[in-house]
Amino acid sequence: MRRWVAGAAAAALVVLASPAASADPAASGAIPKVPVMTGFGGAVSSVDADATRIGLEVLRRGGNAVDAAVATAAALGVTEPYSAGIGGGGYFVYYDARTRTVHTIDGRETAPSRMTETAFIDPATGKPLPFDQGVNSGLSVGVPGTAATWQHALDAWGTLSLRKALDPAADLAQRGFTVDATFQAQTAANQTRFDDIVPTRDLFLPGGAPPAVGSTFRNPDLARTYRQLGREGVDWLYRGGLGREVVSTVQAPPVAPDADRVFRPGLMQQRDLSAYSVIDRKPTRVDYRGLQVYGMPPSSSGGSTVAESLNILENVDLKSMDAATATHYYLEATRLAFADRNRYVGDPAFVDVPLRGLLSQGFADERACRIDPAHAGVSPVAPGDPTAPYEGCGTTVGAGEPEPYEGLSTTHLTAADRWGNVVAYTLTIEQTGGSAITVPGRGFLLNNELTDFSFAPLFPGVPDPNLPAPGKRPRSSMSPTIVLKGGKPYLALGSPGGATIITTVLQTLVGRVDRGLSLLDAVAAPRLSQRNGAATEAEPGVPADLRAALQARGHVLKDNPEIGAATALEFLPGGRIQAVAEPVRRGGGSAGVVWPT
């Protein structure tokens, strides 16, 4: 990884870093793991160099952005198996250049038909299960949506068959990839969990230990699974033999005889898989500083919460402010928006989400009225009432709700093609390592997404929009975002990181749009995240003078070693695209274009 030097503090929410010049990879044709690349013909940005390379090769051979996104995502299932794969789900946002419209696919996992709102209540105690017991169990495994998302996207907008889209990732799984420090560290962090499940131990702990940095990690089981999925189609998972294997694994996790944990059986049945479908949803949209910002609607809270925060910030001129004041307003906007998110957002098939109100400028103006320019709010602040009419500072509804836990794993990719189509795609198996349960002989981990549900109502007598129910999608914070300027692509971005995804996307947008940062510097900037919690999380790189200025306003700061890991694209004049990935977080990402300049 190249060294980075301090950037200008005056332009930023926080002091950032800017990159040394990267070597031109065009001569060798290889795509090194560099954080920024500019050029023509399409672009891909992901956390992994192998995945980015595969996506770019699809573009070079005439595939479009959807083809490249699916191929890249499948490759991330090989090299980022603890964050994504066909055992999970996600959200796919697509800009169609021909029609100039934005579409979304909700590929979120669903709860089994036997799951009720008391599924995470221990019948012996009448209290919610310890979170660890929820994660490490078949009970946490939702019906996966990733394979259905890939097929639906390819059918709607792609040019490749699923088989051809999966072939490069199958080849990668067969021949293997080089283990880096991040992969080894993630394996080591999960070693005691992985050791409890026989196929997980055998695959990810060869010889009983995490694979060594520099070694080659192969997953022939996943290679075979991808190839058979390509031949037989997704019905093999949702109505066929692979689905039966998944259900058997969920209902009777293959626990090692010497396991340290009890893995509770799950509730999934074959009929849950056959009933699954992805959902085409209308994207969220708000106008911000003359830009059109599109995001993912519920069941994700990402689009609405980013949008509400932007609408709140529309009330102030961030560009003219000093860094401390701009950061104060950014943190207060997310504090308020998360209060509303926690109270109102859930699966719209089960919850009447007041989305029009949450996206309205009038409601945001009421919420902005509650920001004290000189003092931080005290969390948890109460949610507002998003019902019109809007006037003054509005009214509040009940008490503020604390932020539930969300897993910090997940991965995000962005892709664009020579014709101007764009994809922002966030996919996940929930926390790093998911449920820790690998389907025997299939090479992929199952998700623990159902732990994104509330285990019990946050406040007695107060409706909780995120309690479990049969077929329900748990609330997510994934925030794949596409920004248009004059109806044409300007930015595409997203991030992993649980609920910090929302603040990562928002801070990156504010850095680029309001604070005059390059996209690379906006992605690299040390992050702060306020989610209506008692403390604001801050990365170590946040400078001391900014910390002091925020604390003087009453902000309580709590260190978080790493927040998010964004990838992004910016569409430049003359048909150029700049691809950007994290320079350092999660070992650094990989940005590439088809024809570098």
Give catalytic status of residue 396 as yes or no. Answer: no
- Torsion over CA: 189, 90, 487, 338 (sign): negative
- 265-291: average pLDDT: 98
pLDDT tens for 513-536 read 999 999 999 999 999 999 999 999
Distance from C-alpha of 173 to C-alpha of 189, rounded to nearest angstrom: 23
Q: Under CATH, which number does the domain 4-18+34-279+405-596 receive?
A: 3.60.20.40
Q: Domain extents for the chain? A: 4-18+34-279+405-596
pLDDT of residue 406: 58
Q: Taking each helix axis as running N to C, give the angle between helix 323-344 and helix 302-313, from 0 to 180 degrees, rounded to the nearest 10.
A: 140
Q: What pLDDT score does 51 carry?
A: 98
313-348 pLDDT, tens digit each = 999 999 999 999 999 999 999 999 999 999 999 999
Q: Which of 110, 249, 410, 504 is catalytic?
A: 410
| Mean pLDDT, range 22-50, rounded to an integer | 75
pLDDT in the model for residue 405: 57
pLDDT-based confidence at residue 403 (cuts at 50, 70, 90): low
Compute the mean pLDDT over every residue in the chain, rounded to the nearest whole number.
93
Predicted confidence at residue 409, as pLDDT, reads 73
Cα–Cα distance measured from residue 495 to residue 406, given in angstroms and rounded to the nearest whole number: 14
pLDDT band at 139 (very low <50, low <70, confident <90, very high): very high
pLDDT of residue 204 exceeding 90, the answer is yes
Task: Give the lowest-confidence range in 16-20, 77-81, 113-117.
Answer: 16-20
Give the CA count within 13 Å in the CB-facing half-sphere of 113. Answer: 9
Q: Identify how many contiguous H helices and E strands the chain contains and give both numbers.
A: 19, 20
Q: In this structure, are residues 121 and 162 in contact, taking their beta carbons and an 8 Å threshold?
A: no
pLDDT attached to residue 70: 99
Q: What distance in Å separates the CA atoms of residue 333 and residue 531, rounded to the nearest whole number?
A: 10
Reported as a pLDDT band with limits 50, 70 and 90, residue 408 is low
Q: Is the pLDDT of residue 13 over 80?
A: no
